[in-house]
């Protein structure tokens, strides 16, 4: 298998997850305006955004393309990346002692082997109670505006925000559901080394 594998995302959490598979890949972030892709069905919306990212990279590059998109929903409100530190604080306060849903759209395109797969995973997650001091300290010392919902549980401390979850573990923690990715790789003939 000599196809180039391309991760259409510069998100550090997704890179961390790809690195665990022990296969060579490159990163070429997609260049799309996610905000123009809307659908009242949030599962479809996440899937459409992931597919749009994959197809954007496919325009100028050959190989296996992997793309994803993640956002949180709490009480019917979509929590994307906050636009300010104040909004990040508000998002964390909303999630404190509350249960949300993390949607992770996923798309895998391998034209050589005629594979074009996309789907959305959903993870119900519950935050423990966060104090105002903890939220303020967290927002002041972390790149919260880079993360949907103002948090990323791919980092050890932030895993401690979550006291319960049900659904895709890596969809929540790294924005890349490896339970969908690995079967796609196997269909493409990609040999996973899975280092310990």
Q: Indicate the helix (H) or strand (E) that contains 107.
A: strand 99-110
Q: Indicate the helix (H) or strand (E) that contains 66.
A: strand 64-74
pLDDT number for residue 196: 57
User: Does 195 map to a domain?
Assistant: no
User: Does 196 map to a domain?
Assistant: no
Domain ranges, residue 55: 5-188
User: Does 193 map to a domain?
Assistant: no
CATH of the domain at 154: 3.90.950.10
pLDDT number for residue 11: 87
User: Does 135 map to a domain?
Assistant: yes
pLDDT number for residue 194: 67
User: Does 109 map to a domain?
Assistant: yes
pLDDT number for residue 84: 96
User: Does 35 map to a domain?
Assistant: yes
User: Does 104 map to a domain?
Assistant: yes
pLDDT 10s digits, 27-46: 999 998 777 888 889 999 99
User: Does 158 map to a domain?
Assistant: yes
Domain count, the chain: 1
pLDDT number for residue 195: 62
Q: pTM, whole model, 2 decimals?
A: 0.90
Alpha helix segments (H runs only) across the chain: 12-19, 42-58, 85-95, 132-141, 156-159, 169-173, 178-188
Q: Which residue positions in the chain have pLDDT lower than 70?
A: 1, 194-196
């Amino acid at each position: 298998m000599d196809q180039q594998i391309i991760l259409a995302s510069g998100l550090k959490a997704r890179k961390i997850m790809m690195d665990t598979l022990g296969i060579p890949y490159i990163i070429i972030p997609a260049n799309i305006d996610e905000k123009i892709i809307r659908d009242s069905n949030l599962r479809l919306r996440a899937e459409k955004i992931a597919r749009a990212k994959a197809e954007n990279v496919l325009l100028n590059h050959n190989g296996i393309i992997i793309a994803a998109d993640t956002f949180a929903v709490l009480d019917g409100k979509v929590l994307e990346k906050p636009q300010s530190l104040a909004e990040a604080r508000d998002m964390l306060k909303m999630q404190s002692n509350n249960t949300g849903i993390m949607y992770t759209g996923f798309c895998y395109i391998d034209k050589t082997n005629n594979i074009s797969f996309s789907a959305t995973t959903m993870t119900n997650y519950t935050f423990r109670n966060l104090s105002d001091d903890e939220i303020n300290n967290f927002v002041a010392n972390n790149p919260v505006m880079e993360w949907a919902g103002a948090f990323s549980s791919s980092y050890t401390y932030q895993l401690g925000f979550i006291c319960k979850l049900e659904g895709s573990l890596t969809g929540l923690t790294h924005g890349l559901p490896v339970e969908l990715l690995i079967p796609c790789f196997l269909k493409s003939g990609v040999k996973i080394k899975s280092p310990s």
